[in-house]
Structure 1
Amino acid sequence: MALTVRFHEYGGPEVLRLDHVDAGEPGPGEVLVRVDAVGVNRAEALFRGGQYIEAAAAFPARLGAEASGVVERLGPGVEGLASGQAVSVVPAFSQNDYGVYAERAVVPARALVPRPDGVDAVSGAAVWMPYLTTYGAMAEVTGLRPGDVAVVTAASSSIGLAALHTAARLGATPVAVTRTRAKAGRLLAEGAAEVVVSDEEDVAARVLELTGGRGAAAVFDAVAGPGVVDLARAVAAGGTLLLWGAQSGRPTPYPGFELGMPALNVRTYTVHEITRDAERLRRAVAFVASGLRDGAFRAVVDRLFPLADVVAAHRYLDSGDRFGKVVLTVPR
């Protein structure tokens, strides 16, 4: 039996329960992993609350799609992995099918990545969701090039920070957008070329000023809602406004008509475009592993919580007052 986080109804963090559940045996193409640490993401909070983009939860529902651990048993037909191997679980499946908020979890082998040397368990649970997301959005989808300006909203989130690092890795200039000035210094230390404080400044006007009136090649927005109209003003002709989150929780208009039908690309995106495509995932893993090896990429972890304190971890996640990743640890 494995201590496993489940929820039996939609709601706030308080609906999360710690149940003792049989982890089960891995079937064809599956692996049983002893979990050491779990990355906590907004996707889980949305799934818990009944607001996620995928199908409704099948109760009692499991949670979690990003973790690190050690291979315990291989299911039939699994090749390229070995018992005792350190691995990371990447978000390549529906939470209705698998969940890694647990002491042990069965996951599909295609969702496992060997953990690079020098990457500890906590980092192994914290780097893949952010960097796979930003690699896909920046390199695969928008084709960010050296010399381009990339604007990143919600820049102090784990994905926002990874976006700053990824843009720099691609030779682009990252501009961070944050709500208050409190995090500006830390964002500059994380590689932002400029920081725009949205509570104090007109974001579009400031980006246009920074780019000599051209606008940014790409704006990567995690907030969505009515603010996309103003953000669209900051996009260069032929550039892209990419929406990879909807933190505002408000309806999101299409900004093109209100702005006079400019040459503007508006696109939604999730990490599953990368993780559920074997060839794209292969390229993404190679890119992220390269950055981890030479120090360009690293986990930025805000707080650790033991698995038993998952309710507190989700309350902290919901507070929005964090800089980087929240990680659950599994004591041994």
Structure 2
Amino acid sequence: MSSDVRSSPAGSQSRAIATPTGSRRAATSHGIPTSTGRAMSLVIVMLTVGVAVVWSLVALHQLSSSIVHESATHLDHARRTFDLARARTLDSLQAQARVMVEDPRLKSTLSTEGIDEVTVADILGDLRKLRGTGFLIVLSSDGRVFAQAGADELRGLDLSGSSVVKKAQGTSEAVAGSWVIGGKIMDLSIMPVRFGPNLVAYLVVGQAVDQDILNAVADQSGLAIATAIGQTVVLSAPSDNRARTVFAAAVGQVEGTQSRVLEIGGDTYVAAIFELEQSGQTRPRLVVAQSLTQPNATFAMIRWMMFVPPILVIIAVLFAMIAGRRIVVVRQP
């Protein structure tokens, strides 16, 4: 009996000692992550980082595309502004041709048989003074330059093959069009000169597309603009060397009306080329360009802010994983 009494405390002490050991073993098994847990944690972190990087890259690409698209819209607006300026010029030239063709001195002189070029040129010079700009030309009935004022480069040319001259030969109204001669784009209106029922000549009232027109369009649109014939830049606004370098690169690289991004001298530009209407067979072109330096600087802060949401997501995931590791499940005795 006495031996049973003594053995009881020993058994209780043994169980008492065994219980903390089991608790420590349980705590250890729950507190230390297994290799599978570490692998899962690594996979979760990698997936989170991957998704965050992809999201940032897509957002940056979308922002860059939006900037280029908006700039291309500005280029098209500049082209429409230039076309509108030319259209107004052509309307004015047609109106002036209708008035000047009725000048009695011009009509009577041209109807005189054997009249010389100098006399007609003097009359054209007087009429040009009234206009104050541009040029005046008298074409013979077969389309040759007979006399001119303000267009020495056209003296003696045969323009019978010009589409606008052919069009004028088939109507009695003022016809609008353009010539490209001597590297110049010339907007003009042609009106037949009749003395009674007889056609005696054609009067041409013209205005070259000059620097003033380009400067006005550039100031209104805020973009750089130029005219080109083939691969040669004729006029540009602004006319500095930097702008002409950009236009020369655009003429050599951009095809069609689709805008294109160019890297020139460390700066980024978007440029487009448009064919000019009513400009004959040489097909001169309008070149429009815009620097992306200012738009990129405007959205620089937004570019950095696009990385904030992914970074916050990564921090949240890491915090949740670290907090989960520190939770230790302790068995109660």
Q: Tell whether the structures are fold-level matches, with TM greater than 0.5.
A: no
TM-score interval, smaller chain: under 0.3
User: Which structure shows the bigger proportion of residues in helix conformation?
Assistant: 2
What is the TM-score with the length of structure 1 in the denominator?
Answer: 0.25
User: Which structure shows the bigger proportion of residues in strand conformation?
Assistant: 1
Larger radius of gyration: 2
What is the TM-score with the length of structure 2 in the denominator?
Answer: 0.25
